[in-house]
Structure 1
Amino acid sequence: MSAGAALGTVLLAYLPAAVSPGPNFVLIAHTAAAGTRRTALAVALGVVAAGGLLAAVAVFGLGTLLAHTPWLATALRVVCGAYLAWLGIRLWLRARAPESAPPEAHGSAFRQGVVSNLTNPKAAAFFGSVLTAALPPGEPVEIKVAAVALIVVVSTAWHLSVALLFSAPATQRWYEHAKPALNRVVGTILVALGLALAATP
């Protein structure tokens, strides 16, 4: 397969997965609407960084570690599911609380974005199966590197756009009125996703 065809296949496979709503979208949009633009951008960059890591792991075949150590894969799934559920419960408990972001929250927001993507079952499914099928192991190293770079670029463009859109003043004013109900809806989604991830064999 030519380099152009290989990268085109990767792009066509990744783009729908990137833009379809999931835990990352929910987290970035909620952070942007509830907090500051800088915090939302930090979460988005954390999601991008984790996506680049997952892509590199999948493309260079290191993901076989989890395939050969089922207990580790199970432990990670349970821990990740518990984390998502904890985020959802916290949103429920703070549904009517005023939003507050300490100055050091941006580093924390970046880490939250990283953990969100690393624990995202949709990301795990894509990078663990779809990407490896779209980019066979026999492809040259330079094409694999280019594929990872392409995924990072597309992910950056999409997730930063979400952060910028939802942190717009008009969106934040709407969120201020809808916050209690919206936080409970988002919290419920995160709890459901966490429980489903932890329970999936």
Structure 2
Amino acid sequence: MDPILAFVSIVAAIAVGAASPGPSFVLVARTSIAVSRRAGLATALGMGIGGVCFASLALLGLHTLLSHVGWLYAALKLAGGAYLLYLAFRIWRGASEALVVDGDSRTAPAGSIARPLLFGLLTQLRNPKTALVYGSIFAALMPADPPFWLFASLPPAIFLIEAGWYAIVAAAFSAGSPRGAYLRSKHWIDRAAAAAIGVLGARLVADAVPPP
């Protein structure tokens, strides 16, 4: 695959995954509603830093392993594709469930950003599924012999995706009208995200299974 096309494909796939609702989404939404927009943005920054950590580990691990173990390429595609299909099923099944935003209404002082930033970082790092998703996407879309610029550009791009998306969530859920609009359309938004993740998972599984 052409490196530029690979970069665009990886970024697009990760953006779809980041936008799918999950624990991180609920954390940022809750912080923005219960504390402040500033605290929500700090949490989004922590999410972005955590994403860079996982992406860097996935890139380093895959580069080493795939350069020495050829069969692992197909195995990662199969495992990653199966997980993404499972994730799509979970999101689709939960599309009709109400978004629950609860917990302590004072998770951080209104003027402090250190605590919500650390909370966002730890929440991201405690979710090993993030590393699995990154690994499966890299395994599926990374060229066999990627140039150095591709390795160097992916972590900052992932930071912008993760932190940028959750910053949008923080801004939206710290205001009244956008929050209500999402809650009214949650069913369709969640199912659209599930469909996109399911297509990617099916593609990974199909690529991993050799033709008869």
With the length of structure 1 as denominator, give the TM-score of the two structures.
Answer: 0.60
Shift of 1:127: 4.8
Q: Is 1:18 aligned with 2:11? A: yes
1:168 matched residue in structure 2: 171
The alpha carbon displacement at 1:184 in A equals 1.4
What does the per-residue CA deviation read over 1:152-174, in whole Å, with 9 as the maximum and x for residues that have no partner? Answer: 23322343233223312677433
Q: Distance in 1 between matches of 2:80 and 2:138?
A: 17
In structure 1, how many angstroms separate the alpha carbons of the residues matched to 2:27 and 2:102? 13
Residue 34, structure 1, aligned to residue 32, structure 2:
no
Q: Is the 8 A contact 1:82 1:198 kept in 2?
A: no
Please say if residues 54 and 131 of structure 2, whose CA atoms lie closer than 8 Å, have aligned partners that are also in contact: yes
**Partner in structure 2 of residue 180 of structure 1:** 183
Please state how far the C-alpha of 1:178 moved relative to its aligned partner. Answer: 1.1
Q: Which SS does the other structure have where 1:94 is aligned?
A: coil
8 Å CA contact 1:51–1:118 kept in 2: the answer is no
For the residues of structure 1 that align with 2:172 and 2:63, how far apart are their CA atoms? Answer: 40
1:142-196: CA deviations, max 9, x gaps? xx5x764442233223432332233126774333211333321232134324544
Q: Report how many residues are paired.
A: 179
Aligned-partner residue type, residue 24 of structure 1? A
Shift of 1:78: 2.0
* CA gap 1:148/1:92 in 2 versus in 1, 3 angstroms: same
Alpha-carbon shift at residue 16 of structure 1 (Å): 6.5
**Structure 2: which 5+ runs fail to align?**
32-39, 108-115, 207-212
| C-alpha distance in 2 between matches for 1:154 and 1:193 | 20
Q: Distance in 1 between matches of 2:50 and 2:71?
A: 26
**Contact 1:82 1:194 survives alignment (8 Å):** no
**Distance in 2 separating the partners of 1:154 and 1:72:** 23
**What CA RMSD, in Å, does the superposition of the two structures yield over aligned residues?**
4.2
Counterpart amino acid of 1:184?
H
Contact 2:51-2:124 within 8 A present in 1 as well: no
| Percent identical residues | 12
C-alpha distance in 2 between matches for 1:169 and 1:129: 32
